Chain A
Amino acid sequence: MKDLYLIYKNLTRKKLRLFLTCFTIFIAFLIFGAVTALQGALNSGVEMSADNRLITVNKINFTQPLPFAYVNKVQNIAGVKEVSYANWFGGFYQEPAKQVVTMAVDPITYFSVYEELVLPDEQKSKWQKNRRGAVVGQRLAKTYNWKVGDTVPMSSNIFSNKDGTQTWELQIEGIFTAKDPQTDTGYMLFHYKYFMETQIWGGDNVGWLMLTTTDTNLNEQVAKAIDDSFANSAAETQTSTEAAFNKAFIEQIGNIGLIIFGVVFMAFFTILVVVGNTMVLAIRERTGEIAVLKTLGFSSMRVFRMILIESCLLAFFGGLLGLGGAYLAVLWASAAMARFLPNLVLDQGIVLQALGYMLLLGLITGIVPALRALKLNIVSGLQGV
């Protein structure tokens, strides 16, 4: 558009003011990008959950075990497709600080329930045949540079090995990946039977069950059926969809969503006021010039449009820089905090949201001065009112 040069010149009139205003917008979108990514990471467990997967835990608390017999009982309930189970190992590698998510599972059924994971058949059958075998997720393997064939000593901060130590030597038989790059692959699986045989307490209990249903519409029904069948027993169960389970877990952090929302809201509100103000004043200074443009023959609509474009350009310029900064911050943080927040990433959704807010910011901060310019009476404008 022919007016772009004029708009550009107006924006860059006072370099210091432009810098400060851009900086304020930059900060707001930096915060927005980083904090929204954080929120996404916390919720990713919820989002990545499969629709038709249920989790059954002990009703008292998920740290209490369930009897092994439950596995078959659940398999026989109508609507249940596949059942598997897992025990929390509480693992660490070499030192307690290096925590590794490790679970003792059933090598036959685990990957049927978690269909989004990909393990080459060859590796799977090798693992199934090796009692001491383990499979490792790609992200975990990368972290410690583990390869198929390595023997790694995994220690538990809960359980003791019959051999007197708290360490189990496991042989890596396979590395699994996921169909969706956002699915977490930062954990390790080994044989439930081997675990039970070698840990001091032994016994035949499982940590929790995970199962798939034949139809998502049956989820509620199946959950109820499962819990009913164990009601009033020594270990009552609580079955919920995987998404609900993960969500409940995050909610324990106590309304983090509200805090995050609050911070971002305050940041945006503040910049809105500051930038909006600056725009109003910057354009008020140009009252005379706007009047002159109108005398030259620029229509009121044209002038109105130019101002809105100016405020939007400002918002996008600062906003895109801020988003870029957030991207870098998230990149750094996701490397540094990979263990706690595996899914910290600034994805497309956040970018689109941010662009929308930039547009909104531009329009809101520009509308008042633009309207004023639209309605400006040339005569009074020329007098410098």
Chain B
Amino acid sequence: MALMSQSMAVIVMNIRSLPRRFWMSAAMVIASAVVVAILLAFLAMAKGFETTLKSAGAEDVAFFLRVSSAAELNSTVMNDQVNLLRNAPGIVANDKGPMVSPELYVIVDGIKKTSQTKANIPLRGLGEQGVRLRENFTLLKGRMFTPGTNELIVGQGLLGQFDGFELGNTLNFGKNRWTVVGVFSTAGNVFESELWADARVIQSLYNRGSSYQSVRAKLSSPQQIEGIKAYIENDPRLNQVVQSEASYFAEQGKSLSYIAIFGRVISTVMALGALAGALNTMFTSVADRTTEIATLRAIGFSHLSAFVGTMAEALVLSVLGGLLGSLAAYLFFDGLSTSTLGGSFTQVVFTFQLSGNLFMQGALMALIIGFVSGVFPAWRAARVPVAVAFQARR
């Protein structure tokens, strides 16, 4: 069809003439690249947060904290309360008895590798049931800590972010000395940012008597939560609040979500700026080529071919920019592990995660920029009057 071949011809001509407008085109490519890169970086960060926290919480694990405690750090659970909870309905039992894990959560300091400054790290005291409760737990190196000793195991994420936690090292927290005997993984979730040791040892070293801070229990099914809620209400000695572990972590993730929101806002604002820049570039491009366009029209090319030619130019430039931005985001951010302050004032290690879905969003952004910055100038190009070709150059 004549229309098609005309349009193709114009498209090819426009793109061939891009080198003449090198800096202009470069400006548009850069603008698109930057916007896409920033968008992807923040999306990857948000995804990383989500994964870290989501996968940590199981739907079928009940999580008990004292009422009005914002986090594990702030809560207290007495020993006899733990015993009462052991008898709650709906809890699964294994060969060691009901899968109930009373745990402690204290904060110690470590040196961050990147900044060489101090940061807070959680030290969790738990027992064998606690370890068993986390189904994605695997011991990567070394062995489990021996109960009753100053041995601890370190999460893989923590190991990567902080100095001095390698297998076999001794650590000093205050006057207490610990030895790292193992490295564990829990499939990349928040537990990997922790140190684990025997609950009893922590109790004595930190003067906790016989009390704990939180309790976890494995349920036979997520619905059992309701039964436990009723159980707690009926017993005046229990002042715990129960929720699924999953919903607890969802709450914790809120503070991190602020960063994600901030990222989205910045990306959007920058996208607007880039769009204005792209529009400017395209309008100038059309102005630069006015005589050319008019000459083609005088020869017999249709309005549509001028329109399509300009659209194609805009889309090619913005998509090129989008690809560059995606590449940059992938190279710099994908798999980048870093840590930041989570709830409870401790460090949460998370990984930037770029996925196919995210790249799609980046591509969409590039296309939108290309389309919007192309359509108006293209319209103008289509309306260039043929007479312009005959006017003397001013």
A residues with CB within 8 A of B: 16-17, 20-21, 23-24, 26-28, 30-31, 35, 58-61, 63-64, 90, 92, 96, 155-158, 160, 166, 232-236, 248, 251-255, 263, 266-267, 269-271, 273-275, 277-278, 280-281, 285, 288, 384
B residues with CB within 8 A of A: 23-24, 26-27, 30-31, 34, 37-38, 66-70, 73-76, 106-109, 112, 114-115, 117-120, 173-176, 206, 266, 269-270, 272-274, 276-277, 279-281, 283-284, 287-288, 338-341, 345, 347, 393-394
Inter-subunit contact A23/B68 (CB<8 Å): no
Inter-subunit contact A60/B173 (CB<8 Å): yes
Among A59, A63, A274, A288, which residue has its beta carbon within 8 angstroms of that of B281?
A: A274
Inter-subunit contact B273/A271 (CB<8 Å): yes
- Beyond A35-B266, A274-B27, A285-B287, 5 additional contacts (C-beta under 8 Å) are A31-B273, A160-B66, A252-B119, A271-B273, A274-B30
B114 to chain A, nearest CB (A): 7
Inter-subunit contact B34/A90 (CB<8 Å): no
Docked CA distance A64–B202 (Å): 13
A345 to chain B, nearest CB (A): 18
Docked CA distance A384–B392 (Å): 11
B191 to chain A, nearest CB (A): 19
Inter-subunit contact A60/B109 (CB<8 Å): yes
Inter-subunit contact B175/A232 (CB<8 Å): yes
Inter-subunit contact A266/B38 (CB<8 Å): yes
Given contacts A236-B174, A269-B34, A277-B23, are A24 and B269 in contact (CB under 8 A)? no
A158 to chain B, nearest CB (A): 4
Q: Which residues of B contact A253 (CB under 8 A)?
A: 340-341
Among A60, A96, A255, A384, which residue has its beta carbon within 8 angstroms of that of B108?
A: A60
A48 to chain B, nearest CB (A): 20
Docked CA distance A90–B27 (Å): 52
Q: Which residues of B contact A92 (CB under 8 A)?
A: 68
The residue on B at minimum CB distance from A166 is B68
A56 to chain B, nearest CB (A): 14
Q: Which residues of A contact B106 (CB under 8 A)?
A: 61, 63-64
A/B interface sample: 22 pairs, CB < 8 A: A24-B280, A27-B270, A27-B273, A60-B107, A60-B109, A61-B106, A63-B107, A63-B345, A157-B69, A160-B76, A166-B68, A233-B175, A236-B174, A251-B117, A251-B119, A263-B270, A267-B273, A270-B273, A270-B277, A273-B26, A281-B288, A384-B393
B380 to chain A, nearest CB (A): 10
Q: Which residues of A contact B339 (CB under 8 A)?
A: 254
Inter-subunit contact A255/B109 (CB<8 Å): no
Given contacts A59-B174, A266-B38, are A20 and B30 in contact (CB under 8 A)? no
The residue on B at minimum CB distance from A278 is B280
Q: Which residues of A contact B176 (CB under 8 A)?
A: 60
The residue on B at minimum CB distance from A22 is B276
Inter-subunit contact A235/B273 (CB<8 Å): no
Inter-subunit contact A251/B115 (CB<8 Å): yes
Q: Which residues of B contact A17 (CB under 8 A)?
A: 280, 283-284
Docked CA distance A254–B274 (Å): 28
Among A90, A233, A273, which residue has its beta carbon within 8 angstroms of that of B74?
A: A90
Docked CA distance A332–B76 (Å): 39
Docked CA distance A253–B256 (Å): 10
A330 to chain B, nearest CB (A): 13
Inter-subunit contact B109/A266 (CB<8 Å): no
Inter-subunit contact B38/A263 (CB<8 Å): yes
A227 to chain B, nearest CB (A): 12
Q: Which residues of B contact A16 (CB under 8 A)?
A: 283
B370 to chain A, nearest CB (A): 15
Among B30, B118, B272, B341, which residue has its beta carbon within 8 angstroms of that of A254?
A: B341
Docked CA distance A178–B381 (Å): 63
B85 to chain A, nearest CB (A): 18
Inter-subunit contact B120/A61 (CB<8 Å): yes
Docked CA distance A160–B34 (Å): 52
Inter-subunit contact B73/A63 (CB<8 Å): yes
- Chain A CB within 10 Å — which of B119, B280, B341 has the most? B280
Q: Which residues of A contact B74 (CB under 8 A)?
A: 90, 157-158
A206 to chain B, nearest CB (A): 15
Docked CA distance A252–B347 (Å): 7
Inter-subunit contact B114/A31 (CB<8 Å): no
- Chain B CB within 10 Å — which of A61, A251, A280 has the most? A61
